[in-house]
Structure 1
Amino acid sequence: MAPRPMPPFSTPEGCYRRAGLAVPWLAGAAALLAVLGGWIGWFVAPIDAQQGQGYRIIFVHVPAAQMSLLVYVAMAGAAAAALVWRLPLAGMAARALAPTGAWCTALALCTGALWGKPMWGTWWVWDARLTSELLLLFLYLGFLALHSSITDLHRADRAAAVLAVVGVINVPVIHFSVQWWNTLHQGASLSLRGSTVAPPVLAGMAVMALAFAAYVACVALLRMRCLLLERERNEPWVRDVVAQRC
């Protein structure tokens, strides 16, 4: 029996080309959703009775915080696949996700500080939610630093993957911190039981969350393409790609 052909996206060349096809669509979707979400957040959502206009930072803060967790879970999943099944593409996917995850985490922390100053009277407190989110940023940066400190790419992939998989334990700590401890950070407004958020505000946050997701996927695929060209630079298909662009 002849061996079954591998799916096109499972090879470096196939992954590179299909990522290139998806990037423009994701970029367009991210831009359109961001404009729509911003319009809902600024012009449709009502003024909050207690926080006034200042609460509108929620349309950036909440999606950024959500993406910081989701990207880390995806990164850890790709890292686990690289460890267990020795998949180079999975290791590259984890590496491609890390910078954008770190950016989302930093954005969540910065917007949280901007929101916290007028609401709490301080830029920062060593609150369980804030401290564990800061630890998440250090995990992202540690992943990148560890990978870049090892010259052998295969060893670097394995070492960084172990750190990513171990660090995933911090994700549920962040998510449930407002339930496990008495924290200054407000509790969850969204749950399986329903929502305490006004429908326009909920719609704006949902649209912005989709915009962030499309942006994260777009940037990760762009970085994945760069990593593929770097790692496969001696392969004939890379020379063909370079020749087509020259």
Structure 2
Amino acid sequence: MSSLSASEPVSTPTATGTAPNPERIAVKVEDVSVTYRTTFERTPTFKQAIVRFGRGERAVREVHALKKVSFTVNEGTSLGIIGANGAGKSTLIRTIGGILPPTSGRIEVHGRISALLALGVGFNPNLSGRENVVLGGLANGLTRAQVAARAEEIAEFSELGDFMDLPIRTYSSGMRSKLAFAVSVHMDPDILMIDEALSAGDAAFKKKAADKMQELMGSARAMFLVSHGLGSIKEMCNRAIWLHKGTLMYEGSPDEVIAAYTKFLKVGEDAFSLEDL
């Protein structure tokens, strides 16, 4: 189990490869908040710029990406995460994945995560696709022998042919997406996290990717899917949450959460309250 809190990260080894047990917790998120501090703002007036320069000040703005979010995901759960741009969806799974530390709150993760958070995150553009497969496998905790055993399967799944031996910088975004997905799903993850992974690539590959994720759910303990495609959430998930401006608005079955979200989109934020659900 790995545990990440705002104060002190703690990790202990957990056995992998066991079948999902719906009574066991895979991920627990408790009162998690993430706040960014940035100097970005609108262009100051000349007077404001002179005053700040004289005082040695810099304008700092706080962005509350997540606000006391809490939920529990048991093994065997495929969790869809929906919401508008800027809702905090990607921040949430990056925090669960250990990439971003929470400002406050606590996250428990039981098992090894394979995270496909964006197109080719972590790829070295100057190395070939095949070399990046090795790096991706090692980063996921596999041995070189285990990576070598999966390398050809990954190459075949990604359908890149001779491009596997060319530098990543020569790839299109769709090719990077295919390779990133292939690496992630062939690493025997306990927990699979996917952020808009199926937004690129042709229809045939999207179908192939969807079939692979369905297969993984038979062995992975849990899956997180961030997507604007509500159809994909309904088809691939058995649980869902809706985030809005960093706040968890609704949690339930995909049908329930999507119904609440679409109602919100129709009536607008000013005319909406949780009592309307």
Query: Which protein has the bigger helix share?
Result: 1
Query: Which protein has the bigger strand share?
Result: 2
Q: TM-score range by the shorter chain?
A: under 0.3
Tell me which of the two structures has the higher relative contact order, counting C-alpha pairs closer than 8 angstroms and 6 or more residues apart.
Answer: 1
